[in-house]
């Protein structure tokens, strides 16, 4: 296990080696405090606004700029359906090919996947603090939020579809067997929801450049192989979990961009207006909400 962790840390170090030269002088503690407070406000406000948007979404289904009003939305649904159908058809084949993975190989691959991905995200966030790159940190936070929301939705999906795991039943059509306890059903994979959502946040920050997206999603794919190889999930569970994590992250990134363009919406932590000297006497937009002032 220790060797796996060190391999993960070494990989992260190589990925972030060039970033260490970006600044000659580290930010002060006061600056870091301001950045952390800003991240907290970003997360609190966007979680609140996301909940509001999701609850009120039926009111805007016919709006021209809504997702259902776009042809790409329906093309995406067709693509998701095709991917899942293909994965479902390959369930038994994948189980036969990699379903007898040893415990040792499973542990090494799973630990390498999780340790490397989480370390990469963690060091990226720290670098975002060092570089005062709020956009990087916000995309990472959005990916983390997407992982949490995606898992909650996925737990409800597991209870609803009640699909038995491969080690419980040899048939991949064994659906609707009841909840059977907390997180005991197969469809879909929580691990894939988590890893794919978090990877999407960082990948989107870099514009999905291949040299970032390929390593990140490969780590998530590696976790998928361990789930199939250990008999915990079917191939279609892995694909569906990946699509759920990716789709949740993309939706939240889209919503958060819209939130940034609507500064007058009510927020728990209000948007502070710029100083009077910087405004030059102009009226500044500010949302209403609860606020707190602190001195670092």
Express each pLDDT in 83-118 by its tens digit: 999 999 999 999 988 878 888 888 889 999 999 999
The pLDDT score that the predictor gives to residue 59 is 79
Mean pLDDT along residues 238-261: 94
Segment 22-30 long-range contacts (CB within 8 Å, at least 24 positions apart): 22/127, 22/130, 22/131, 23/130, 23/131, 26/130, 27/129, 27/130, 27/132, 29/296, 30/296
pLDDT at 272: 61
Q: Report the distance separating Cα 31 and Cα 285, nearest Å.
A: 24
Does residue 2 sit within a domain? no
pTM over 0.95: no
Within a domain: residue 102? yes
Q: 245: domain range?
A: 28-269
Residue 204 has pLDDT above 50, yes or no: yes
Which of 179-183, 204-208, 286-290 bottoms out in mean pLDDT, i.e. has the lowest? Answer: 286-290
Peptide bond into 188 cis (omega under 30): yes
Least confident of 18-22, 180-184, 244-248, 263-267: 18-22
- Which residue has tokens 């939305």? 73
Q: Which residues contact 217 (CB under 8 A, 6 or more apart)?
A: 196, 199, 203
pLDDT in tens, 133-180: 999 999 999 999 999 999 999 999 998 898 999 988 889 999 988 767
Query: Domain tally for the chain?
Result: 1
Three-class DSSP labels, the chain: CHHHHHHHHHHHHHHHHHHHHCCCCCCCHHHHHHHHHHHHHHHHHHHHHHHHHHHHHHHHCCCCCCHHHCHHHHHHHHHHHHHHHHHHHCHHHHHHHHCCCCHHHHHHHHHHHHHHHHHHHHHHHHHHHHCCCHHHHHHHHHHHHHHHHHHHHHHHHHHHHCCCCCCCCCCCCCCCCCCCCCCCCCCCCHHHHHHHHHHHHHHHHCCCCHHHHHHHHHHHHHHHHHHHHCCCCCHHHHHHHHHHHHHHHHHHHHHHHHHHCCCCCCCCCCCCCCCHHHHCCCCCCCCCCCCCCCCC
Instruction: Note the pLDDT of residue 295.
Output: 41
Burial degree of 141 (CB within 10 A; 0-12, 13-18, 19+):
buried
Q: Is residue 296 part of a domain?
A: no
Mean pLDDT of 17-22: 50
User: Which of residues 125 and 284 earns the better pLDDT score?
Assistant: 125
**pLDDT, position 12:** 54
Residues 6+ apart with CB under 8 A from 68: 61
Helices 190-205 and 235-260 pack at an angle, to 10 degrees, of 40
Range 68-91 average pLDDT:
87
Model confidence at 270, pLDDT cuts 50, 70, 90, reads confident
**pLDDT (0 to 100) of residue 9:** 56
Whether residue 143 lies inside any domain: the answer is: yes
pLDDT at 281: 46
Residue 3 inside a domain? The answer is no
User: Do the domain assignments include residue 167?
Assistant: yes
Query: 16, 18, 222: which is closest to 115 by C-alpha?
Result: 222
Give me the pLDDT at residue 61, please: 74
Output the pLDDT for position 264: 86
Residue 21 lies in a domain: no
What residues contact residue 200 under an 8 Å CB cut-off, 6+ apart?
A: 143, 146, 245, 246, 249, 250, 253
Measured CA to CA, the distance from residue 265 to residue 19 in angstroms comes to: 36
Is residue 22 predicted with pLDDT exceeding 60?
no
Residue 58 or 293, more confident? 58
pLDDT at 6: 57
Does residue 283 belong to any structural domain of this protein?
Answer: no
């Amino acid at each position: 296990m220790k060797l796996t962790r060190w391999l993960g840390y070494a990989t992260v170090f190589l990925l972030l080696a060039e970033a260490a030269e970006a600044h000659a002088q580290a930010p002060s503690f006061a600056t870091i405090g301001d950045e952390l407070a800003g991240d907290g406000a970003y997360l609190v406000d966007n979680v609140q606004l996301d909940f509001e948007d999701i609850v009120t979404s039926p009111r805007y289904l016919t709006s021209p700029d809504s997702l259902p009003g776009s042809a790409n939305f329906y093309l995406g649904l067709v693509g998701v359906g095709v991917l899942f159908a293909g994965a479902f058809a390959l369930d038994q084949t994948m189980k036969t090919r990699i379903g007898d993975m040893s415990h040792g190989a499973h542990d090494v691959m799973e630990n390498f996947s999780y340790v490397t991905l989480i370390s990469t995200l963690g060091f990226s966030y720290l670098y975002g603090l060092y570089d005062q790159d709020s956009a990087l940190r916000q995309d990472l936070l959005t990916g983390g939020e997407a992982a949490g929301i995606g898992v909650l939705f996925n737990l409800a999906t597991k209870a609803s579809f009640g699909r038995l795991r491969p080690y419980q039943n040899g048939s991949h059509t064994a659906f609707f067997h009841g909840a059977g306890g907390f997180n005991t059903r197969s469809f879909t994979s929580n691990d894939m929801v988590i890893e794919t959502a978090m990877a999407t946040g960082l990948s989107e920050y870099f514009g999905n450049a291949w040299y970032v997206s390929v390593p990140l999603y490969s780590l998530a794919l590696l976790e998928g192989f361990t789930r199939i190889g250990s008999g915990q999930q079917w191939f279609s569970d892995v694909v569906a979990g990946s699509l759920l994590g990716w789709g949740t992250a993309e939706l939240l990134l889209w919503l958060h961009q819209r939130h940034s363009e609507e500064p007058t919406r009510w927020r728990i932590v209000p948007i502070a207006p710029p100083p009077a000297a910087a405004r030059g006497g102009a009226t500044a937009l500010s949302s209403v909400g609860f606020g707190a002032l602190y001195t670092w």
